[in-house]
């Protein structure tokens, strides 16, 4: 026997109530984001590999080991998008959106691909709702954007939320700090985990992320980037925080906050939920003022975030899902009534009524049982004597001319 095929590891099918829950999340997000002036954007599911190598950063886990990269038969290296910021910024540059009033505010709900080890809340194809505001370095952009994620998570009812915030300063400050941190780590190299030791030169900041007890001890006395910020970066951070306070968004300053992507400058933040297990990050983002230049554009500031759809749903209580109401169920007694039944169902739908037609070859008795199961308000039974129209709410039944069914139900529905 041939082996039954399954969805690839780390992927899933979306069925039934799950699909409804996602749809509702999308509607909630659309309402919140479009009221704030964000317009929907879609970019391709794959891009030139270079976009992510340069945009996300060669030293990140994402680029080093998690990308689905393939050579297209034409010889071009393509990658299934592991994240949305670099593609949206690429689209901004490609379509000359700098000519529009700035910042340009875009949002997306798309699927992304990372070859990570699958576990609860971590998939190889996952969905994100994200926003990008490109073209302004005003701290109000940062605060407004963070407030929107806060509102979205509140609206979904996500539990046990914690918002942590920090600043990475400018690339220059960060470069100097990286040197300082790397030098510090080298002085205590033998206490560090092998992984951290191997990446001192490449990405010393990731040491703050380590679980390894020795490394954690070393990091307790490590110099902090927040203490090295230039005055204008400090001021930017203070303004973002003041605006969040003014909007009533509780947050904590976390000087050890590290993000898995390289493009961040100044503001970085992350929201976690204690309703989730090890993969507690619900959403995160920050400012990326250097990203446009990394991918070959003119200097253009940007700010955004993304939140995992699966994690938002996992962190929220399941909402009751009501089955969609059915207005009319069209049944028929004999095969010769099939065609008029088909037409009646089509007409009813065109007139805006939720309509079901017998499609399973059931007997009339089976059809009526099925009609009952759908909770249809009306059942129309096509037979030799015309159409028997039954109001399922009142139990009232009458025989009507086939052409007048719509007329009879219109007044009620």
Interface contacts to ligand HAM, rule CB under 6 A: 83-85, 114, 116, 121-123, 126, 128, 130, 132, 260-261, 281-286, 288, 304-308, 310-311
What SS3 class is residue 46? strand
Nearest distance from C-beta of residue 280 to ligand HAM, angstroms: 9
Angstrom distance (rounded) from CA 70 to CA 76: 8
358's CB contacts (< 8 A; 6+ apart) are 330, 331, 332, 341, 367, 370
Tabulate helix, strand, coil % of the chain (nearest 5).
40, 20, 35
Q: How far is the CB of 371 from ligand HAM (least distance, A)?
A: 41
- List of E strands, 251-311: 252-253, 265-273, 281-287, 302-308
- Select 113 or 332, whichever has its Cβ closest to ligand HAM: 113
Closest contact distance (angstroms) between CB of 285 and ligand HAM is: 3
Kind of pairing, strands 265-273 and 302-308? unpaired
Q: Kindly tell me which of 79 and 355 has the beta carbon lying closer to ligand HAM.
A: 79
* List of E strands, 114-264: 125-134, 161-167, 252-253
Instruction: Output the smallest distance, CB 83 to ligand HAM, in A.
Output: 4
Please report how close the Cβ of residue 137 comes to ligand HAM at its closest, in angstroms.
14
Comparing CB distances to ligand HAM, the nearer of 185 and 283 is: 283
Q: Quick one: 22 or 188, whose CB is closer to ligand HAM?
A: 22
Of residues 113 and 378, the one with the C-beta less far from ligand HAM: 113
Q: Which two tokens stand for residue 170?
A: 């400018």
Nearer to ligand HAM, 219 or 261 (CB): 261
Please calculate the CA angle 238-205-52 and round it to the nearest 5 degrees.
95
Least distance between ligand HAM and beta carbon 170 (Å): 17
């Amino acid at each position: 026997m041939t082996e039954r095929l399954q969805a690839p590891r780390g992927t899933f099918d979306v069925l039934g109530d799950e699909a409804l829950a996602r749809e509702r999340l999308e509607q909630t997000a659309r309402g919140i984001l479009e009221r704030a002036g964000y317009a929907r954007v879609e970019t391709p599911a794959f891009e030139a590999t270079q976009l992510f190598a340069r945009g996300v950063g060669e030293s990140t886990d994402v680029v080093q080991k998690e990308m689905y990269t393939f050579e297209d038969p034409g010889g071009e290296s393509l990658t299934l998008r592991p994240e949305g910021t670099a593609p949206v910024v690429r689209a901004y540059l490609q379509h000359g959106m700098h000519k529009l009033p700035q910042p340009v505010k875009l949002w997306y709900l798309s699927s992304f691909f990372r070859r990570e080890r699958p576990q609860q809340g971590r998939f190889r194809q996952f969905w994100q709702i994200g926003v990008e505001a490109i073209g302004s370095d005003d701290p109000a952009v940062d605060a407004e954007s963070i407030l929107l994620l806060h509102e979205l998570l509140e609206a979904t009812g996500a539990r046990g939320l914690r918002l942590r915030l920090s600043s990475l300063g400018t690339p220059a400050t960060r470069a100097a700090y990286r040197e300082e941190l790397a030098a510090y780590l080298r002085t205590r190299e033998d206490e560090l985990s092998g992984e951290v030791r191997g990446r001192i030169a490449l990405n010393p900041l990731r040491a703050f992320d380590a679980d390894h007890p020795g490394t954690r001890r070393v990091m307790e006395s490590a110099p902090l980037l927040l203490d090295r910020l230039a005055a204008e970066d400090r001021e930017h951070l203070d303004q973002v925080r003041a605006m969040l306070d003014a909007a009533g968004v509780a947050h904590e300053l976390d000087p050890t906050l590290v993000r898995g992507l390289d493009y961040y400058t100044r503001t970085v933040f992350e929201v976690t939920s204690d309703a989730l297990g090890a993969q507690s990050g619900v959403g995160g983002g920050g400012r990326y003022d250097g990203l446009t230049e990394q991918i070959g554009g003119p200097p253009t500031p940007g700010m955004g975030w993304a939140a995992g759809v699966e994690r938002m749903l996992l962190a929220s209580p399941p909402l009751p899902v009501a089955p969609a109401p059915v207005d009319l169920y069209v049944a028929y007694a004999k095969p010769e009534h099939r065609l008029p039944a088909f037409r009646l169902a089509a007409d009813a739908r065109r007139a805006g009524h939720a309509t079901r037609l017998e499609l399973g070859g059931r007997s009339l008795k089976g059809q009526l049982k099925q009609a009952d199961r759908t909770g249809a308000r009306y059942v129309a039974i096509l037979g030799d004597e015309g159409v028997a129209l039954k109001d399922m709410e009142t139990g009232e039944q009458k025989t009507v001319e086939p052409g007048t069914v719509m007329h009879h139900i219109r007044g009620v529905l």
